[in-house]
Structure 1
Amino acid sequence: MRLLAAIAAWLPRAILTLAAIGLLNFTLIRLAPGDPAAVIAGESGAGDAAFMAEIRRDYGLDKPMPVQVGHYLARLATLDLGVSYRNNQPVMDLITQRLPATLILTGSALLVALVLGTALGILSARSRGGWLDVAVGAGAMFCYAMPVFWVGLVLVLVFSVGLGWFPAFGMVALIPKQGFAHVLDVAWHLVLPALTLALLHMAVYVRLARASTLEVLDREFVRTAHAKGLTESQVLRKHVLRNALLPTVTMAGLQIGHLLGGAVVIETVFAWPGIGRLAFDALLQRDYAVILGVFFLSSVLVVFANLATDLVLRLVDPRIGR
């Protein structure tokens, strides 16, 4: 019942948030320089005024801005994201074709960053002030400071061009594979882009897990557990780990948006066929319908990820929400 009550309280806020995001995105895109009708007319080789007026009428660009906003928000309520200005295909179809690739990339990167970052942060806290603590902290700072596209290019040069261990681009091999061989092929192509995206976010989890673990280790109930004769591993497993993971789980939900934003760069560097690459290409082509669709669906994913994070926290710690 507590979870259902949390969902019921979240739903109105989510609707208002998504409506505000849709309105803001639409307004900002329309204020950007460039006319999609001029782009389409120029590519077709018929840039006269009559043809451009017909294009504006077909895509609703001739209507006043408040009317366009109203029509756009009404379509969002039914998940109708419009039609691409470039190829006249439904935007929802274009996104759903690319979305699985992005979810695979961001999900893998989040898992790697969360597991490795948390483990290294706890180890760093347990050796407070030692060489391992210093080394892990320096490595985390280095990963966080490096531009993500530079890290990707370095990994390609070393592990693809130099050693030939992993492919440099794409999601699958040029010769299609079937069954389990296809899964292995995708995983093989996934290693470098997922690792590149994970390194940046792993540094955040290292610092957060270290700080939260040190805070828990200094609490009275941990000292009491040691006094009762529990071993270090028992104290860590029964008392420290659960309390130290709460801030990390919260951060995982908050970083979904950052992961989706970073996926734009990663998918461009590694030619990964996800929605980030779709948005980048649409931006270059001024395909505003696709840009708005990707932004809105990304916002939906972030909103639902925050809900999932809140529900997980309530399950892990029943005190939350009381």
Structure 2
Amino acid sequence: MGVLDRTGTILRRTAIQVLPTMVGIIILCFFLLQLVPGDVADVLAGESGSATAETMAALRARIGLDQPVLTQLVTYLTNLAQLDLGRSARFNLPVTQLIAERLPGTLLLMLSALSMALVFGVLFGWIMAVFAGRWPDRLLQVLVLVFYSTPGFWIGLMAIVLFSVKLGWLPSNGSMTVGVTLSGWDLIADRAKYLLLPSLAMASFFIAVYARLTRAAMLEVQGQDFMRTAAAKGLHPAVIQFRHALRNALIPVTTMVGLHLGNLLGGAVVVETVYGWPGMGRLALEAVLGRDFNLLLGVLLLSSLLVIVTNAAIDLLHGWLDPRIEAH
């Protein structure tokens, strides 16, 4: 099957799966949220300090919470079919606007953390496989074990203590320097300075996972016939390691990336809260605390769509890494 045919097959399959999957996610999440005690009217009344029963009844009627649950679900799905995610009762703004403001920050953080996890995970795994049984392998295995067994939020807090409090090298909160107008490389350097610590906190666990996967996959690949054939042809050892061994070892790693994307989104809630990073993780937490179900459903919907699209992209990547893989 050619590259274009494989790409078309994967895209068609993804398009067919997206609609029922998204509807199923929305219905499941909608009913699960009904089990949460209280609603946004209770939260707003508590924050105001006082509210009469008539005021709360009027607020629930304005939001639509006075309707039966099935009626609320049908209304939400009808609006969703028109690409309308509704309004946030807590912020009194369209859900689409709130998500659009926070989405770039989360995507930047996730991309940075995922890149860090892949680069260092694959690099550590490759070094461990090349020096298997020797001191570089043993040293990196200890480091990987520490990353694997330590919660990311604790690493984030310890990184703040070391690099922000003790050494003063990196900022501990926010996403950019406030009150300063920057452009070009100065802007990139400023954002990178704020991005480094939260990316490390989010990526630490996945660095360990990808390192161990890469090491195991490379040790398995090195014993296969095509590796001996490449060596017999007189290819340089570096070419054999990168073009043949590492390329095939990346297949299980990229598979795990698709599975871990949801974990990254979940970890964003904690990391963005610890580092004061403005993103969808903090927005989801605010929606939960405020019982703002419209906003929370919008965040869950977009997060699910992001996971589905990323897994489709990984299927395409597998076809490039190993042409023997066919789309089914």
TM class by shorter chain equals: over 0.9
Residue in structure 2 matched with residue 273 of structure 1 by the alignment: 278
Residue in structure 2 matched with residue 89 of structure 1 by the alignment: 93
Residue in structure 1 matched with residue 225 of structure 2 by the alignment: 220
Aligned-CA RMSD value = 1.5
Write the mapping of 1:4-83 to structure 2, written as runs, cut at 5 A.
4-44=8-48, 47-83=51-87
Question: Tell me, what secondary structure is at the counterpart of 1:255?
Answer: helix
Partner Cα distance (1:159, 1:191) in 2: 11
Asked if the contact 1:149/1:265 (under 8 Å) is kept, the reply is: yes
Q: Unpaired segments of 5 or more residues in structure 1? A: none
The question of 1:111 aligning with 2:115 is answered yes
Question: Tell me, what secondary structure is at the counterpart of 1:224?
Answer: helix
Aligned positions, number: 322
Alignment equivalent of 1:238, drawn from 228, 240, 243: 243
Asked if the contact 2:29/2:297 (under 8 Å) is kept, the reply is: yes
Shifted more, 232-241 versus 294-303: the winner is: 232-241
Residue in structure 1 matched with residue 200 of structure 2 by the alignment: 195
Residue in structure 1 matched with residue 292 of structure 2 by the alignment: 287
TM-score, length basis structure 2: 0.94
Residue in structure 1 matched with residue 316 of structure 2 by the alignment: 311
Q: Unpaired segments of 5 or more residues in structure 2? A: none
TM-score, length basis structure 1: 0.95
Partner Cα distance (1:299, 1:263) in 2: 14
Partner Cα distance (2:322, 2:244) in 1: 13
Partner Cα distance (2:78, 2:323) in 1: 39
Asked if the contact 1:176/1:182 (under 8 Å) is kept, the reply is: no
How big is the shift at 1:176?
2.9
Letter aligned with residue 139 of structure 1: L
Deviations 1:68-88 (A, max 9, x none): 111222223333221111121
Partner Cα distance (1:12, 1:76) in 2: 18
Alignment equivalent of 1:101, drawn from 93, 105, 116: 105
How big is the shift at 1:25?
1.1
Residue in structure 1 matched with residue 149 of structure 2 by the alignment: 145
Partner Cα distance (1:6, 1:206) in 2: 28
How big is the shift at 1:228?
3.2
Q: Quick one: percent identity of the two aligned structures?
A: 46
Asked if the contact 1:171/1:189 (under 8 Å) is kept, the reply is: yes
Shifted more, 157-166 versus 253-262: the winner is: 253-262
How big is the shift at 1:147?
1.2
